[in-house]
């Protein structure tokens, strides 16, 4: 990079009425040689994907957005990228909530909760392209008008929590917040600041939580996160575990 700071002008946006998955759409563009910094949004998705192989029910009325980045950073730095995006989504959602609204918090690793219920999930997908470039797609789904039934974690929508913004209005805030947080993250010492912002918005640090892993559950005191975004869990007698992926439950 030429040392220039990332700015909102660096990003393009394509709005689709419907697609299978905006993440897939971004990966397809990358394979066609797109230079990156491309946002794709859709009014609905017919095959939306969630974390850990789950489906993301994608009815009209919500925000489905993906950002394609090409070679955004050395691999080692990429672990902290989702944290920056979660802070940006937290900020954008807070902006559209009315005053005296219920708390907006980040749930590790990068969900956003309003009043303790999930309104936003983030899915990162990467791919090594045929020409050697690395594509990274950050997919963000926000329940703006509709909350899915029967989700793994209790869900709500921004409308139910008192916000009147449309998906388009929320996207305008998200677009700016992500550019701002990527600029911070991209800047030398910015990762420490990103982690500080993440911590100050996070739910449950210092509390007892349960983390469901594919093969077992762990309970302990949520001590915080490390620079790679791993959850630090104190499981008693001076033992701390660093967890890279799992589903957190509070209280
Ligand atoms: C999660 O499981 O919490 C992550 C959900 C991510 C959903 C978004 S919606 C836009 C983008 N396209 C997808 O297929 N998934 C992400």
Q: How many angstroms does the Cα of residue 153 sit away from the middle of ligand 1?
A: 15
- Alpha carbon distance 247, 235 (integer Å): 16
Look up the CATH number of domain 8-201: 3.30.930.10
Mean pLDDT, residues 28-51: 97
What is the topology classification, in CATH, of domain 208-250?
SH3 type barrels. (2.30.30)
- Kindly give the number of the ligand 1 atom that is closest to the alpha carbon of 51: 2
Encode pLDDT of 137-168 as tens digits.
Answer: 999 999 999 999 888 899 999 999 999 999 99
- Alpha carbon distance 197, 194 (integer Å): 5
Encode pLDDT of 208-219 as tens digits.
Answer: 999 999 899 999
pLDDT band at 1 (very low <50, low <70, confident <90, very high): very low
Q: How many angstroms does the Cα of residue 50 sit away from the middle of ligand 1?
A: 5
- Alpha carbon distance 179, 10 (integer Å): 9
Asked if pLDDT for residue 81 goes beyond 50, the answer is: yes
- Alpha carbon distance 247, 51 (integer Å): 10
Q: So where are the chain's domains?
A: 8-201, 208-250
- Of 9-13, 79-83, 94-98, least confident by mean pLDDT is 79-83
Quick one: what percent of the chain has pLDDT higher than 90? Answer: 86
**End-to-end Cα separation, the chain, in angstroms:** 45
Tell me which residue has its CA closest to atom 11 in ligand 1: 139
């Amino acid at each position: 990079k030429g040392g220039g700071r990332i700015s909102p002008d660096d990003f393009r946006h394509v709005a689709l009425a419907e697609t299978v998955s905006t993440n897939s759409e971004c990966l397809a563009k990358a394979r066609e040689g797109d230079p990156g910094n491309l946002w794709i949004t859709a009014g609905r998705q017919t095959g939306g994907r969630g974390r850990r192989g789950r489906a993301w029910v994608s009815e009209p009325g919500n925000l489905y957005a993906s950002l394609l980045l090409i070679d955004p950073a050395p691999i080692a730095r990429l672990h902290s990228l989702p944290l920056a995006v979660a802070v940006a989504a937290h900020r954008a959602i807070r902006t559209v909530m009315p005053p005296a609204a219920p708390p907006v918090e980040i749930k590790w690793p990068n969900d956003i909760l309003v009043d303790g219920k999930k309104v936003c999930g983030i899915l990162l997908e990467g791919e090594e392209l045929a020409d050697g470039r690395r594509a990274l797609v950050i997919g963000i789904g926000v329940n703006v008008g509709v909350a899915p039934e029967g989700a793994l974690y209790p869900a709500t929508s921004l409308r139910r929590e008192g916000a009147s913004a449309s998906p388009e209005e929320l996207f305008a805030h998200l677009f700016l917040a992500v550019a701002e947080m990527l600029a911070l993250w991209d800047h030398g010492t910015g990762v420490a600041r990103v982690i500080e912002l993440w911590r100050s918005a996070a739910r449950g640090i210092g509390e007892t939580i349960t983390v469901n892993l594919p093969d077992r559950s762990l309970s302990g005191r949520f001590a915080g996160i490390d620079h790679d975004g791993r959850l630090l869990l104190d499981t008693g007698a001076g033992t701390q575990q660093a967890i890279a992926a799992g589903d957190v439950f509070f209280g």
